[in-house]
Amino acid sequence: MSKVNVLVRAMMAVALAATMIPSYGSTLDSVIQSKKLRCGVMLDSPPAGFRTPDNKPDGFDVAYCQDMAQALGAQAEIVETPSPDRIPALVSNRIDVLVASTTNTAQRGISVAFSQPYINYLTVVLTRKGTNIQSSGSMKGHPLGGVNGTSTEQFINKSITQWKDSKTTYTGFGSDTEAYLALQQGKVDAILVSASTANLLVKSGKFPTFVIGATADLADMDSIAVKRDDYQFLQWVKLFIWNQVSSGRYKELYNKYIAPGEPAPLSLKSVDY
């Protein structure tokens, strides 16, 4: 057999194999075609996500979902997604994109693909009057709490391991609301939350015993997540985040929902995402 025939047959085999590989469309294409964007958001975590008195979804993350849908020429469908269900909801295709204050850990990156950070929250200690807890270090010796599967949970458990104090315990809860109630009822003495969330809880009047301690040494920069192998949609989401910042929309929403003034930076010194 000539070398030419061998080459031709090899090229035909490659072409045939290519036709046998299943084709998976990007979420980007399906959203544009259906004109619907299913967006996973935590609605028990103000100011990122919450419900208004008339039960409508609102918050920073909700606004980002709506902006994203508008840029795609679609309608935003806000899907309430509790903290422990965030990654499973995306993996099981119940949502198209996750905009739910999700920290981009390496472990989570095994299951989903993350954008660059889209929001940066300052983390503080939230406690009750009379606990004498002023900082994350003074949480030692107290019963502590948090939400299952969060970066704050990891931070507290790591601290407990370092403290080696038998009186320091940790209890994980299924949602932010459960953690707030546990703190209010005295089941735990402190939790870690964003500064904006802590301010809202204290000012709401619903938790008169709550007080805010010092800032915790925990950078809480959160990313938007898409399905792990959906590179087309991931690239679009990255571009969307860049445009939100460059257009001033990020600052506008940050000032509306988080705090006045300049937003917290979306990068770490000497590190490029």
Q: How many CB atoms lie within 10 A of CB 235?
A: 14
Query: Do the domain assignments include residue 192?
Result: yes
Q: What is the pLDDT of residues 108-144, one digit of tens each?
A: 999 999 999 999 988 899 999 999 998 889 999 999 9
Query: Do the domain assignments include residue 133?
Result: yes
Question: Count of domains in the chain?
Answer: 2
Domain residues for the domain of 63 are 27-120+221-258
Query: Do the domain assignments include residue 207?
Result: yes
User: CB of 197 within 8 A of CB of 125?
Assistant: no
Q: What is the pLDDT of residues 54-71, one digit of tens each?
A: 999 999 999 999 999 999
Q: What is the pLDDT of residues 78-113, one digit of tens each?
A: 999 998 899 999 999 999 999 999 999 999 999 999
Query: Do the domain assignments include residue 270?
Result: no
Q: Give yes or no: residues 82 and 40 share one domain.
A: yes
Q: Give yes or no: residues 195 and 251 share one domain.
A: no
- Round to whole Å and give the CA distance between 266 and 273: 10
Q: What is the pLDDT of residues 218-253, one digit of tens each?
A: 878 899 999 999 999 999 999 999 999 999 999 999
pLDDT at 36 over 80: yes
What's the confidence (pLDDT) of residue 264?
82
- Looking up residue 254, the CATH number of its domain turns out to be 3.40.190.10
Q: Give yes or no: residues 115 and 225 share one domain.
A: yes
How many C-alpha atoms does 71 have within 13 Å on its Cβ side?
A: 16
Q: Give yes or no: residues 92 and 138 share one domain.
A: no
Strand partners, 41: 80
Q: Give yes or no: residues 215 and 126 share one domain.
A: yes
Q: pTM of the full predicted structure? A: 0.73
Q: Give yes or no: residues 114 and 188 share one domain.
A: no
